[in-house]
Amino acid sequence: MSVALVTGAAGGLGTAIARRLAAGGHQVALNDRPGRDVSALAAELGGVAAPGDVSDPIAVEAMVGDVERQTGGHIGILVAGAAYLTMAPFTEHDLDDWWRIIDVNLGGTFACAQAVMPGMVERGGGRMVLISSEWGLIGWPDATAYSASKAGMIALTKSLGRELGPLGIAVNAVAPSVIDTSRLEVDAKAAGVTVAEIRARYADRVPLGRVASPEEIADAVAFLADARLPTLLGQILHVNGGTTRARA
């Protein structure tokens, strides 16, 4: 099985993805920014901790090199899940914060993909799974930077699918709708309501009648990370309970 690097592993979704890939037999390397400790989770899963700010390409290069030294092999799976989200009206969003969202979500994904690609080429192939969002498809009020960053990840997936496919590297993405994680607290604060209320509001617009669990998204990631699907590349898997499918 491959070494699987999961960025944003300290969050609810990242943790679920790490657990799912470890259960599938992969050795997991868990990344999050300094200050968000993943060492306990890494020890639990028999993996390695890989701290580093993905928005810093130099830090990413060092982090990937450290993972390869610790595991003794090249990274075969990249799950680019590190994300930063704040919400504010378009005309009021602090410019530095707006660009921080782009730098982490889109720039960080680009940096990680660049850093792991040479090792994937050397080992004869690999899988990259980018965690985009439904908001990258339909947009969302008070989330212009986040939506733009996730739309950029969709275009990056399609472009890398074309460019890296001939090298044996399959690049795909998951575009979830709302997930039941602590990130709902950001949405609730922006809306001025409780987490329970924001969860209910989101559930009302989902044909399935509820928001997704982190484990459901992790299952979709594991599907795209499966090396037995070599012809699946440049695709966006919409795991959203039917929200975009139900739109006119």
Q: Could you give the residue numbers annotated as active site? A: 146
Question: Are β-strands 169-174 and 27-31 bridged in parallel, bridged antiparallel, or unpaired?
Answer: unpaired
